[in-house]
Amino acid sequence: MTKNILESFVIIAISVAFAMILTWPKFQEFESQRSLVMGKQSDLETRNEYFKNLQQSSSELSNFGPNLAKIESALPDNPDVATLANYLEMSAMQGGLIIKAADYTADQATAAPAEGDGQKILKNFHIALTLSGPYESWKNFISSVEKSSRMIEIESTQISANPTKIQTGATAASQQATSDILNYVVKVKANSY
């Protein structure tokens, strides 16, 4: 009787072991596949959420059209140096300043296109102006430039008085007028993509 029970127990144990040996690799394969599917499912949900957020952001951005236009004007896609130079010239002339020289340079460090990720890279360029005119005109000029929608940065400025010119026959009034005229060298920076 006891022997029969022992034999049954051994047979059951062998059967269980056999069953495990047979199904274990399949179970492992199943688990591995399930893990892969869960990972991909998570990727899909993340991606869906990402595009949903992008769509939402795009809708929100479209509500700020006028403000975005101002930002686009401040940081345009094109440097449009000619328009900027024209603006600087007009601002200077309207204030009563004379432009003696203008020099444009692009930053070599950022001028090269580097759009590997499809995103635009901000580039800097500089315009150096040599101006001449009354101090009040100068103040009006820089005030106008600082408030420009193009977001122009005045990086440096040098102001110097005209060397005293004592000319034979020059009247006191003309000497006074000469001394009121100052020279300015201003370096401005603007940005574009």
Partner 1 sequence: MAVVGGFFALTYLTGKLQAQYNDINGQLTQQETSDQKTLESTVLNYKRRLDDFSEILNKHAALSRFFAAVEPIVYPTVSFDSMDLNSVDKTVTIIGKADTFESLAKQVTIFKNATAVFEKIDLSKVSLGPDGKINFSFKADIQPDAILFK
Q: Which residues bind partner 1 (CB under 8 A)?
A: 15, 18-19, 22-23, 26-27, 29-30, 33-34, 36-37, 40-41, 43-44, 47-48, 51, 54-55, 57-58, 61, 68, 71-72, 74-75, 118-120, 122, 139, 142-143, 146, 151, 153-161, 191, 193
Nearer to partner 1, 10 or 20 (CB): 20
Closest distance to partner 1 from the beta carbon of 177 (Å): 17
β-strand 123-134 against 98-106: which pairing, if any? antiparallel
Greatest alpha-carbon span in the chain: 145
Of 164, 159, 154, the C-alpha closest to 133 is 159
End-to-end CA gap in the chain: 93
Give the span between the Cα atoms of 89 and 102, in whole angstroms: 9
> Which two structure tokens, joined as six digits, stand for 65?
């059209």
Nearer to partner 1, 27 or 104 (CB): 27
From residue 56, alpha-carbon distances to 43, 52, 70, 72 in Å are: 20, 6, 22, 21
Nearer to partner 1, 58 or 167 (CB): 58
Beta carbons of 193 and 72 less than 8 angstroms apart:
no
Closest distance to partner 1 from the beta carbon of 165 (Å): 15
Nearer to partner 1, 1 or 105 (CB): 105
> Which two structure tokens, joined as six digits, stand for 24?
């274990």
Nearer to partner 1, 2 or 78 (CB): 78
Closest distance to partner 1 from the beta carbon of 58 (Å): 5
Closest distance to partner 1 from the beta carbon of 173 (Å): 20
Closest distance to partner 1 from the beta carbon of 159 (Å): 5
